[in-house]
Amino acid sequence: MVAAAVILAAGKSTRMRSRVPKPAHLVAGRPMVAHVLAVAATALRATHRSSSRAERGTGDAEDHSSRLVLVLGHESARVLDTLRSVPNLPAFTVAEQRAQRGTADAVMAALPLLAQPPQTAPDTILVLYGDTPLVRPETLAAVLGAHEASGGVALLTGEAADPTGYGRITRDTEGRVTGIVEERHATAEQRRINEVNSGVYCFDAAWLWTRLETLQPHDNGELYLTDLVDLAVQEGVPVTAQRAPLSETAGVNDRIQLAEAEAHLRRRILERLMLDGVTVVDPASTFIEAGVTIGMDTVIHPFTTLRGQTTIGERCEIGPHSVVRDSVIGDECVILGSWLEEATLATNVRVGPMSHLRPGARLETHAHVGNYAEVKNSTVGAHVQMHHFSYAGDATIGERTNIGAGTITCNFDGVRKHHTEIGERVFLGSDSLLIAPVTIGDGARTGAGAVVRRDVPPGGVAVGMPARVIRHVTSEPESHSPPDATPGSPAENLGVKENERNG
């Protein structure tokens, strides 16, 4: 069998009420059509492997992109733009359906691409809809398998408690499929049918191409692909139907269905992780996108969102209340209530609570960052302690350095960003301000509140900018005292201790 897949995503989607084309809407962090492309490619690879084994390895060098055809039309450039940023997307070819004249017309748009020499023309065509992102590769393999066994038309159908909007599958008294009737043409009785069309079909290529040409448009001007099922039945061509739960066959025509698809896929991702040995304390409040991998015995606490291409090691504690995007996290890290974007953590790193690691943050083993710390485009060395209210931007911090509370790398002069180099075993006093570009040598120290404008040599001690008392308060401030408070000395009310008055 030489199979090709055609994915239909050319339609306008008025019910989404969106300026974003429907195939580009995200489900579990990826454009919905990207899920369909991935699953179709997996199913094709599997059939290709089994048939090339049977034919002793023929065709292995063939380019598979031509076997995966995406039919686009409405806003095609925008859809392709969105797909460009999806990692590991299989190669595919684009066919254009210029005017949206229905699902059968969309399949016809793919024909010229599939019949092209020097490739062997496919003998089997799998059709999927780009707004049905939940179908699994095993299920597609079952549809392909059913087609290989019986020929004719193989369908995938779903079971919907509320079938509104779907095409209904009609069967005769012996349970054989007799056709598909779209909701707008269905009788009241047919509308009560719960078995629905998923939009996954497998056809003999030769039969498909000839019969598509015979279809007649409906009153709305559309050519329905579903009519081919009725035609097959009339011609006595075998029609088989595989059933799958709605969690695989659900289509997305509006935002309510988008959220339902998201929930199904999210649950599936969480279940896969849990079966692989990740503890998800509260699946209902945990959001993990499709590209995330997590090692065994890691615990994901509630209200945590893991996005993009994030990799998390073993035995970590993530959350509660953490958001991690496109980051690499080593084993045994703890991330409490923090936000990480494009950050890299070695093993045994501790972040948070309430910290923000921005792109280019690299934390070496046993580094501790937070409470309330921000790191951007900086390397924080092994065993660095950076515990309270601090900012490292465009900096390198050497091993075992202590960053005092409130320390800030002043990296921006209003025009350009500058680098700060902090050596190993440095001790920065609370509220040190390091005016970049500046270098603090190994083992150097700064006093509390130091404003460091020049390089500090290794082992150097830099102090500066002590606060001076410039005048004494002459009258009690009016608005600062609560009405029933016993007023202390004016200096106390300003937060100055008596013994510091003249210090």
* Residues known to be catalytic: 388
Nearest to 467 by CA among 426, 496, 428, 437: 496
List the one residue out of 136, 116, 131, 23 whose CA is nearest residue 67: 116
Residue 168 gets the label, from left (phi > 0), alpha (psi -120 to 50) or beta, of beta
**Residues 6 or more apart whose Cβ sits within 8 Å of residue 417:** 393, 394, 411, 436
> For residues 244 and 428, which CB has a smaller minimum distance to Mg ion in the complex?
244
Task: Tell me: does residue 285 bind Mg ion (CB under 5 A).
Answer: no
Instruction: Tell me: does residue 130 bind ligand UD1 (CB under 6 A).
Output: yes
In the window 246-275, what residues touch Mg ion (CB under 5 A)? 251, 253
Backbone torsions φ then ψ of 332, nearest 5 degrees? 55, 40
The minimum distance between CB 86 and Mg ion, in angstroms, equals 21
Neighbours of 313 (CB within 10 A): 21
Chain-centroid distance of CA 138 in Å reads 22
Rounded Cα gap, residues 169 and 174, in angstroms:
14
Shorter beta-carbon distance to ligand UD1: residue 245 or 459: 245
**Minimum CB separation from ligand UD1 for residue 109, in Å?**
8
Cα–Cα nearest to 406, from 432, 383, 384: 432
- The span of 2-10, 296-304, 333-341, 415-423 binding ligand UD1 (CB under 6 A) equals 2-10
The three-class DSSP label of residue 193 is coil
CB nearer to Mg ion: pick between 167 and 398:
167
We find the least distance from the C-beta atom of residue 154 to ligand UD1, in angstroms, to be: 16
Residue 289 as a binder of Mg ion (CB under 5 A): the answer is: no
Among 40, 43, 106, 144, binds ligand UD1 (CB under 6 A): 106
Integer angstrom CA distances of residue 370 from 17, 382, 405: 42, 15, 10
Binding letters toward ligand UD1, positions 189-208, x by CB under 6 A: -------xxxx---------
Residue 28 C-beta: closest distance to ligand UD1, Å = 18
Q: Are 2 and 59 a contacting pair, CB within 8 Å?
A: yes
Stretch near ligand UD1 under the rule CB under 6 A, chosen from 102-110, 239-247, 354-362, 412-420: 102-110
Single out the segment in contact with ligand UD1 by CB under 6 A; choices: 222-230, 324-332, 396-404, 405-413. Answer: 222-230
Residue with tokens 């302690």: 385
Q: Is there binding between residue 253 and ligand UD1 (CB under 6 A)?
A: yes
* Stretch near ligand UD1 under the rule CB under 6 A, chosen from 52-60, 98-106, 338-346, 368-376: 98-106
H/E element holding 141? helix 137-150
Q: 277: alpha, beta or left, given left = phi > 0 and alpha = psi -120 to 50?
A: left
Position 75 contacts ligand UD1 (CB under 6 A): no
Could you tell me how many residues of this chain bind Mg ion (CB under 5 A)? 3
**Binding site partner of 132, from ligand UD1, Mg ion, none, Cβ cut-off 5-8 A by kind:** ligand UD1
Among 82, 97, 327, 348, binds ligand UD1 (CB under 6 A): 97
Query: Minimal CA–CA distance to 126: which of 144, 111, 142, 112?
Result: 144
Amino acid at 261: A
Q: What residue ranges bind ligand UD1 (CB under 6 A)?
A: 8-11, 71, 97, 100-103, 105-106, 129-132, 166-167, 180, 182, 196-199, 224-226, 251, 253
Q: What residue ranges bind Mg ion (CB under 5 A)?
A: 131, 251, 253
